[in-house]
Structure 1
């Protein structure tokens, strides 16, 4: 089907999912929106997260997307189930794919989760993991300093290393063998997280598994595109396009990105909300 896949995130973190979608589904087109002006979502009240997420969904529905990826863990925890219920297109979040990948990886059945305050306080990963495996032990720690670090684009250097080390210290006190990056921003600093965590801990990013689930959903619903077009991907931000474009270009390794600015505050939230 000649319609795009929609991807939403609170900022640039969802680019880690978009990158895998582009790699695994090279014929598909992506329309991405990152709400960078109101990022992070983690510390926000649930109703605020719901409102902002539905504004992004409404915006992408104007583009006639054929499938929606909620590439923000906080938004997934708050909105995924109601979006599945209310929308006529397939909807996928990032929590279930991340949980599946971690359960495949763990040897000790002892999994750590780091994420925003909103994701961790929701208990979404604990619920997902234990619903699949009753024997798994799960420890979760909020890391509120990491999203602002990534969004700033300045996540290299000694100062950034100190912030990451301080954020990871509580979770690394546990005897975990797998660590879920429960925020799609975190894979942007994956190398440093792995270096600090050490080689004995498997770092789990949800992007790979999410893209595989998207591929399966598209196939099952007969929505895959089989034509010969050259795909065009659109990226929208609610913040500064220069900062967004720099991070996006580096992460996606592309210099032909189409980045536009949109103002979600001017939209009327649909009756879904």
Structure 2
């Protein structure tokens, strides 16, 4: 098999990266994908940096053993904690990460407030602090750690009373401020976007980093001359560290949403 025909590898702490994979299927319809969710260790966002690094290296090794041509870290927390070390170790394969889409949020917010919903670890990492530093003079940035939200989504709870109650508890006070946009700084969060809109209204712009990440993935495939030129439709294989078939079923369900 030549490099063009190899699959693209994705990994996340669980099912969240499926949101980025969905975007990839839209932009790269002829590529094949292998997805690894580490649900047995989810969430990454409440662990320490060294734990997340170790888990990220394990996930990359799993994907490399499957013969992928490029790796996408479809997890904000793992990107923040591990991408620099991963790139130093694995120099022969492109590794693409994701980070909170703060730049587009700042551009549309025009001096008003931007809320960043993310895991506690993503918000605590230096990578995010540096990102905030760049834009803090332009807008009021409100970091919002959302501990417990990943766990709900991993259970397949993406709408209904539980999610609504959680989001209201997090956002009611904040929405009294002049908020223009909300950045979804975790790949799990796009799956609760419908409930989020119910609470914050249609006028608040909700942004996630998936499109930027997938566009970067496409640019990398083109620059390395490994874009798949086959005419057949994408194939997706999903694996998970959990032995529970329910999580695989949930992954495919979320992919079809």
Aligned to 2:127: 124
Return closer, same or farther for 1:167/1:133 CA change in 2, 3 Å cut-off: closer
Question: Does 1:183 pair with 2:204?
Answer: no
Aligned to 1:74: 77
Q: How many residues align?
A: 253
Q: Distance in 2 between matches of 1:31 and 1:204?
A: 25
Aligned to 1:265: none
Q: Distance in 2 between matches of 1:123 and 1:195?
A: 33
Taking structure 2 as the reference length, what is the TM-score of the superposition?
A: 0.90
Shift of 1:43: 0.8
Structure 1 ranges of 4+ moved more than 4 A? none
CA RMSD of aligned residues (A): 2.0
Q: Distance in 2 between matches of 1:117 and 1:11?
A: 16
Taking structure 1 as the reference length, what is the TM-score of the superposition?
A: 0.85
Unaligned runs of 5+ in 1: 255-273
Q: 2:104 aligns with which of 101, 106, 117?
A: 101
Q: 1:158 aligns with which of 147, 155, 161?
A: 161
Q: 2:249 aligns with which of 235, 246, 250?
A: 246
Structure 2 residue matching 1:95: 3-state secondary structure: coil
1:117-167 Cα offsets, whole Å, 9 max, x none, are 111111533422543685343220101021111011123222321122113
1:1-273 aligned within 5 A: 1-87=4-90, 88-95=92-99, 98-108=101-111, 110-131=113-134, 135-169=138-172, 171-253=174-256
Q: Distance in 2 between matches of 1:80 and 1:103?
A: 24
Unaligned runs of 5+ in 2: none
Mean alpha-carbon deviation: is it higher for 201-210 or for 153-162? 153-162
Return closer, same or farther for 1:134/1:65 CA change in 2, 3 Å cut-off: farther
Q: Distance in 1 between matches of 2:76 and 2:177?
A: 23
Q: Distance in 2 between matches of 1:153 and 1:128?
A: 31
Shift of 1:176: 2.4
Q: Distance in 2 between matches of 1:221 and 1:133?
A: 36
Retained in 1: the 8 A contact 2:106–2:138?
no
Shift of 1:93: 1.1
Q: Distance in 2 between matches of 1:219 and 1:109?
A: 37
Q: Distance in 1 between matches of 2:45 and 2:212?
A: 23
